[in-house]
Amino acid sequence: MLNIEITNQDSAAIVIISGEVDLYSSPKVRESLLALTKKEQPAIVINLQDVGYMDSSGLATLIEGMQSSAKYGGKFLLTNLQEGVLEVFQLSQLDKVFKIYDSPETALKDI
């Protein structure tokens, strides 16, 4: 079951996603991310620590969120990718597109 929790820290929205991000759950993630970009949130930090599986629809959702935030100059950062999820990013070479950090704290220092 997918769970999304959003907290604010300084100028950043910390989005904690738990569960699998796949074809069935990615619309919920998309809705949450687009709500933040609609408000032109200056920085969005996505914590994927509790995401053990992500398919191509999950990747597409994150790409859309990144592109939406880039339109107004916002930052879109990923943190805490589990090994299996990181491998998906590496195989698709999206690890070169996204800014990926070990922790939300490290990402916040780069804002």
56-70 vs 26-38: helix axis angle to the nearest 10?
0
Contacts of 24 (CB under 8 A, 6+ apart): none
Q: Is 20 exposed, middle or buried (0-12, 13-18, 19+ CB in 10 A)?
A: middle
Contacts of 94 (CB under 8 A, 6+ apart): 59, 63
pLDDT tens series, the chain, 111 aa:
899 999 999 899 999 999 999 999 999 999 999 999 999 999 999 999 999 999 999 999 999 999 999 999 999 999 999 999 999 999 999 999 999 999 999 999 999
The helix/strand/coil state of 105 is helix
Q: Which domains does the chain have, with CATH numbers?
A: 3-109 (3.30.750.24)
The pLDDT of residue 5 is 98
What distance, in Å, lies between the first and last C-alpha atoms of the chain? Answer: 31
User: Which pTM does this prediction carry?
Assistant: 0.95
Q: Are 71 and 39 in contact (CB under 8 A)?
A: no
Give whole-number Cα distances, 18 to 7, 79, 99, 106, in Å.
14, 13, 20, 20
The pLDDT of residue 100 is 98
